[in-house]
Amino acid sequence: MTNDQPAIPPEWQEKLAQFEWRRERARELGGARRVQRAHERGQLTIRERLAKATTSFHEIGEFATYDDVDALGTLRSQMPASYVMGLGEFGGRHVAIGGEDFTVRAGAPQTYLDRMKGGLGGFVEDLAHEYRIPLVMFMEGIGGDIAASGEKGHSYLVSSLSWGRSYELLGEVPVLAMVSGASAGGTAGRTVLSHFSVMTKDSVFFSGGPPLVERALGKLPDKYELGGAKVATRSGAIDNLADDEDDAIAQMERFLSYLPQNVWQMPPRTPTDDPVDRPIDRILEKIPTNNRRPYKATDITSFIVDIDSFFEIGKHWGKAVTTGLARIDGIPVGIVASNPMHLGGAMDAHAAEKQIRFVDMCSTFHLPIVYFADVPGFMVGPDAERANVVRWGMRAIQSLIEADVPVVTIQVRKAYGMAVSATSDPDGLSLRIAWPTAEWGDLPVEGGVEAGFAREIEDSPDPEAYRAAINENFKNIADPWRTVEAFGVEAMIDPRETRVMVADFLNASLHRVETDLGPSKRRWTMRP
């Protein structure tokens, strides 16, 4: 016996030599010069990203190429396709994963292939659909490319491109997207068709870059002013901001840890050493009894969820509500909380849009929702009306009514007007808990008295005294204990009992959720 490797048969030597040459060429991507330029900008190639993000990766379509021609159609060379994809292990999960490489035609879609590998649809999405596994996308590309018409010999009608699978996946498996570098046009469009998106702080994201803006509008904007990370994360186009690619990848891994592989499975419950009955006495120090004093929503929610389990999503936009994923007794949940630090917690159009998208995601993947309500109503005023607050607000109500998951609502303080309907589902598998600081009604007493009895007050012998008497009368009627006594809310509790009660409800409700696994009864939505 010998450990020496057997000799390669001569008839195989040529075939394997060609195989290795093609593999080496594929891995050169756009060539050493372009790769070096990317590195000088502090960016990775797609192969480097995949190596960093995955613990294992098996590439599909490695040898796909295209004919690189000049502007007159003269063949210059054969180049690797701009998309790299396959099956990988990401965050301990089997996923379909891939992305564009900017060194190859600036990441333009591979319309030159018989079958697209990925980018705007393609084989990587079919993998996610057929195997029912998450889709992880690294987005860096210019979207459309005029050079494609030169290769085809005719202009490409973009409506020939099917988005069907991209939308279908939103109701089937978790879809995650990371932007590092430039994401424009169709690449930007594909990015937002995701359940979670994150971009590095030095990246840009827009429907059209500076050259297109200059041609259309006659002015050349700075690319960061047009679509830098601050712009994209404050508009809501991108969910989260990351310091660098390591941070972005870590955020995607953490997001995925709360979700199941697909809608036919339950979210993964994890063991926890955080007792359900952990003392939370200090929560009383964080809840101002004066309803005009603001507080950070996360200062309240941190007492209820498992320690260090809260992962905020959409921090920089729609700030009147705070949203994120967490665990309670190891159970993954979606957290929505009114944020009195912004607009006093009043729900404006941006907050409503943010809530809609988050609630739809939770419902799609069977995540119970815990809502901390402290809302004085829909935002009022000219700016709010121009932003269409009523339509967005009513759509936020619809999202909770249609949610296929348990909803626990905690009435922290204010609960006035139609916006309160966007904090719970009175018809479904839900529970409303009130704290002694809670107050509610159609309108706050002071403003409501003035609106409802203006003429009566004006006609009284002593308007000021009469106004005071009416206010006192309706304050007594508005006492939340009267609602509790009439069973108008399910429970009034000491805030320190909240963690135990919510955990009990969640544990009980999971028996129902487990029997309803599968796609949602309504399609996952992007807009009203």
Question: What's the full length of the chain, in residues?
Answer: 528
Which residue has tokens 């292939």? 113
pLDDT single digits (tens) 116-125: 888 788 899 9
In the chain, the largest separation of any two C-alpha atoms, in whole Å, equals: 115
185 near 207, Cβ under 8 Å?
yes
Encoded tokens for 360: 């739809």
Alpha-carbon distance of 473 to 445, in angstroms, equals 10
Question: What residue segments make up the domains of the chain, in order of their start?
Answer: 10-257, 283-435+493-514
- Cα dist from 43 to 33, 102, 244, 246, 465, whole Å: 14, 10, 10, 12, 70
Q: Mean pLDDT, to the nearest integer, of 338-343?
A: 95
Alpha-carbon distance of 277 to 106, in angstroms, equals 55
The model's confidence at residue 70, banded by pLDDT at 50, 70 and 90, is low
Which of 14-18, 51-55, 141-145, 437-441 has the weakest average pLDDT? Answer: 141-145
pLDDT single digits (tens) 441-491: 865 545 555 666 677 777 778 777 767 666 666 565 668 888 888 898 899
Tell me the CATH class for 10-257: alpha beta
pLDDT single digits (tens) 205-236: 998 888 888 889 988 998 999 999 999 999 99
pLDDT single digits (tens) 352-397: 999 999 999 999 999 999 999 999 999 999 999 999 999 999 999 9
User: Assign residue 267 a region: left if phi > 0, alpha if psi is -120 to 50, beta otherwise?
Assistant: beta
Helix (H) or strand (E) holding 63: none
Fold classification of 283-435+493-514 is 2-enoyl-CoA Hydratase; Chain A, domain 1 (3.90.226)
Compute the chain's Rg from CA coordinates. 28
Instruction: Let me know if the fold of 10-257 is the same as that of 283-435+493-514.
Output: yes
349 near 319, Cβ under 8 Å?
no
